């Protein structure tokens, strides 16, 4: 299902320029509604961290996870209340300025290593903490997004829970939650395995050590279809196995607990597109496909170059493109690097797409880019960050991030140059 009409996107491209990220508020709300069966939805904002998206989440009763001082600043700016656990900090290590902030603001910490847990204990005895457990296995849509098992740096090893309890007792920390997140883009089989592991971990320690437990988290990793024939995840089935597990944990602990889920991709991926403009059709000999060159590069959308990720594409223009002949194209960006191709498999093998014959001046839309799109952009090749637009439920397109200016890019360095200039 298309979330925007072609004419709406052409209008936005004309009004705000390209490349541009466009999100649908309505689609984000729809995704949230699907997960409302969980007690708490905690949005992993790394997927798309624009303040306006965070505000939408907050207005819909979604809480937020932060993994850096920058993400904490965003959460606090939007008004997530640390005292009500609306924002928590998840990491495997904590630097000094972040530590100061979490202590000063009373932000609950989800510690992914024993050293981080100790550090919190030493500097803030009595602090409210979660622990992130590595259950001994992981999975992801590719190796780079697998965050569990012995090859992963993330999480406290599942057999180390007795040490967690020792540290917690020593510093009188309040262990309020146990969390597992084994990867991003996780298949159903592995998600089921995580659920079973949670119980095993809880049963591996004396219940007394878990007396303050208030919640467990299923983590994120929920999948969304990127290709047309990929199935959607069955959320009800996923929820019911966790709900059953929660009831078992409640029996063991003899108290009620909350069940959290921590998705990034699921809430925003299908709610966003990247609109680019076609600047060249690069002809190649008959046995190779022509390239469509657009004005977005892997500095904007990194996923195809980084993971070989697939994103659907369409060619739109002021005139209908429906009756144009279909051609086979590779699609690439403007960067001075041959890996700057949006149609590629993992390992850099260039692939092609069947698209309506493209012309310079058309727009090429890259679909399902709401998650890990804008948030992973960089300034490579000294290209400014693209603008972001949120289309509200009434169809109004609102600019939620201005396009970065070249001036913004060089200002930080300009200052250092001046100092040096002064020396000579
Ligand atoms: N919780 C934790 C602790 C995480 O590290 C992540 C993602 C999530 C939740 C949310 O995962 P999700 O529901 O979005 O799968 N850049 C990659 C994805 C990396 C995800 C990193 N952590 C991509 O573009 O596919």
pLDDT tens track for 217-276: 999 999 999 999 999 999 999 999 999 999 999 999 999 999 999 999 999 999 999 999
Q: Is the CB of 305 under 6 A from ligand 1?
A: no
Residue 134 has pLDDT above 80, yes or no: yes
Q: How many CA atoms lie within 13 A of 243 on its CB side?
A: 12
| Active-site annotation holds for 336 | yes
pLDDT at 424: 45
User: From the CB of 112, is ligand 1 less than 6 Å away?
Assistant: no
Interface pTM, i.e. ipTM? 0.99
Q: What is the pTM of this model?
A: 0.96
CA-CA distance, 312 to 273, in Å (whole number)? 10
Residue extent(s) of CATH 3.20.20.10 domains in the chain:
36-262
Return d(Cα 62, Cα 57) in angstroms, integer. Answer: 5
**CATH fold of 269-409, please?**
Lyase, Ornithine Decarboxylase; Chain A, domain 1 (2.40.37)
* DSSP bridge partners of 309: none
330 lines ligand 1 (CB under 6 A): no
- Determine the pLDDT at residue 219: 96
Q: What percent of the chain has pLDDT over 70?
A: 98
Find the mean pLDDT for residues 375-398.
97
Q: Where are the beta strands (DSSP E) in 115-227?
A: 128-134, 156-157, 174-179, 215-217
Question: Could you report the per-residue pLDDT of 63-121, keeping only the tens digit for each?
Answer: 999 999 999 999 999 999 999 999 999 999 999 999 999 999 999 999 999 999 999 99
Digit-coded pLDDT (tens) for 92-105? 999 999 999 999 99
Structure tokens at 354: 């069947």
Percent of the chain whose predicted confidence (pLDDT) is above 90 = 93
CATH number for the domain whose boundaries are 36-262: 3.20.20.10
Please report, in angstroms and rounded to a whole number, the separation of the first and last CA atoms in the chain. Answer: 62
Question: Residue 88 corresponds to which tokens in the numbers above?
Answer: 């928590």
Rounded CA separation 356/327 (Å): 6
pLDDT at 418: 59
**Residue 156 and residue 76: Cα distance in Å, rounded?**
27
Q: Quick one: pLDDT band at residue 162, thresholds 50, 70, 90?
A: very high
Nearest atom in ligand 1 to the alpha carbon of residue 141 is 25
Quick check: helix, strand or coil at residue 228? coil
- Band of pLDDT at residue 421, cut at 50, 70 and 90: low
Please, where in the chain does CATH 2.40.37.10 lie?
269-409
CB atoms within 10 A of CB 72: 22
Q: What residue's CA is closest to ligand 1, atom 23?
A: 372
Tell me if 138 CB under 6 Å of ligand 1: no
The ligand 1 atom nearest the CA atom of 302: 24
How far does the centroid of ligand 1 lie from the alpha carbon of residue 45, in Å?
Answer: 9
């Amino acid at each position: 299902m298309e979330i925007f009409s072609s004419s709406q996107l052409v209008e936005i491209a004309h009004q705000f320029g390209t490349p541009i990220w466009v999100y649908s508020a309505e689609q984000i709300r729809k995704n949230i509604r699907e997960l409302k069966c969980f007690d708490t939805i905690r949005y992993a904002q790394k997927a798309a961290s624009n303040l306006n998206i965070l505000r939408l989440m907050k207005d819909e009763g979604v809480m937020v996870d932060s993994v850096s001082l920058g993400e904490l600043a965003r959460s606090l700016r939007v008004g997530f209340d640390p005292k009500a656990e609306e924002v928590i900090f998840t990491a495997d290590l904590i630097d000094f300025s972040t530590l100061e902030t979490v202590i000063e603001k009373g932000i609950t910490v989800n510690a992914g290593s024993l050293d981080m847990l100790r550090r919190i204990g030493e500097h803030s005895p009595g602090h409210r903490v979660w622990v992130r457990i590595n259950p001994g296995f992981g999975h992801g849509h590719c190796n780079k997004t697998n965050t569990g098992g012995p090859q992963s740096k993330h999480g406290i090893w599942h057999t180390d829970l007795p040490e967690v309890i020792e540290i917690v007792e020593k510093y009188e920390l309040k262990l309020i939650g146990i969390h597992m997140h084994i990867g991003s883009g996780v298949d159903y089989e592995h998600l089921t395995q995580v659920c079973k592991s949670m119980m095993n971990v809880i049963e591996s320690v004396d219940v007394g050590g878990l007396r303050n437990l208030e919640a467990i988290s299923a983590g994120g990793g929920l999948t969304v279809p990127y290709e047309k024939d990929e199935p959607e995840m069955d959320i009800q089935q996923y929820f019911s196995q966790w709900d059953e597990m929660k009831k078992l944990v409640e029996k063991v602990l003899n108290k009620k607990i909350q069940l959290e889920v921590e998705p990034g991709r699921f809430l925003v991926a299908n709610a966003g597109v990247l609109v680019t403009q076609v600047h060249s059709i690069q002809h190649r000999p008959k046995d190779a496909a022509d390239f469509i060159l657009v004005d977005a590069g892997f500095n904007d959308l990194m996923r195809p170059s980084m993971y070989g990720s697939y994103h659907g594409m369409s060619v739109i223009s002021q005139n209908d493109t429906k009756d144009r002949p279909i051609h086979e194209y590779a699609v690439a960006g403007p960067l001075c690097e041959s890996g700057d191709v949006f149609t590629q498999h993992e390992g850099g093998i260039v692939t092609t797409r069947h698209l309506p014959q493209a012309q310079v001046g058309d727009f090429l839309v890259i679909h399902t880019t709401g998650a890990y799109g804008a948030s992973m952009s960089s300034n490579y090749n000294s290209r400014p960050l693209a603008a972001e637009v949120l289309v509200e439920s009434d169809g109004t397109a609102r600019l939620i991030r201005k396009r970065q200016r070249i001036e913004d890019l060089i200002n930080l360095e300009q200052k250092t140059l001046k100092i040096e200039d002064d020396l000579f």
